[in-house]
Amino acid sequence: MRMRNPKDKDEVINNCEFLITDNINFNNNNDIYIEIGMGKGNFILNNALNNPNINYIGIEKYSSVASIAIKKMRDYKLDNLKVIISDVINLEELLKHKVKVIYLNFSDPWPKKRHAKRRLTSENFLKLYDEFFKDKCTIILKTDNDDFFAYSLESLKDYGYEIVELSYDLHSTSIPNIMTEYEEKFSKDQIKIKYLKAIK
């Protein structure tokens, strides 16, 4: 069920100084990493805090959720963190040839076969990401869903990606990791997190 709109949602969004609406400008030439579906923002915020020489953009299509993330981020006044409120399918021109890395964290698995094209690792979306990347394509994915993970592995390989890191239990490895809100909950419930890094 989609969350209710926070009462101050419009005020928070309208006064957000790091919200991207028409062009991307970080005032530097550092690499840009994006998270598609940033949720409440823990992952992208902590990455930006830990890596000041990388620019981060959190993309969230639901303004109600994005407003919660913005409230977390605004007190830090980070120069390397921005937010886009949009469905990613509308961002081809805005992100064209600008992105170094895409994070896909706990994406909607769309479990029904007839909805497969909506999965963020379907061929439709992989073609879109081709337009985002400025050179080598790098996708980092985390999920709790076994079927979505298996589908993503197959889809990425079929599209020409090489899987360079893979784990069916991320938290048992030494792979550096910043947890999302979902991931913290899954971890408490002892649900194993699947992880991959793919390069093309």
Question: Which one of 8, 10, 87, 108 is the catalytic residue?
Answer: 108
Q: Give the C-alpha distances (Å, rounded to integers) separating 188 from 41, 80, 124, 179, 184.
A: 19, 31, 34, 12, 6
What is the distance between the alpha carbons of residues 195 and 104, in angstroms, rounded to a whole number? Answer: 10
Kind and range of the H or E element at 30? none
Q: Is 108 tagged catalytic?
A: yes
- Residues classed as catalytic: 108
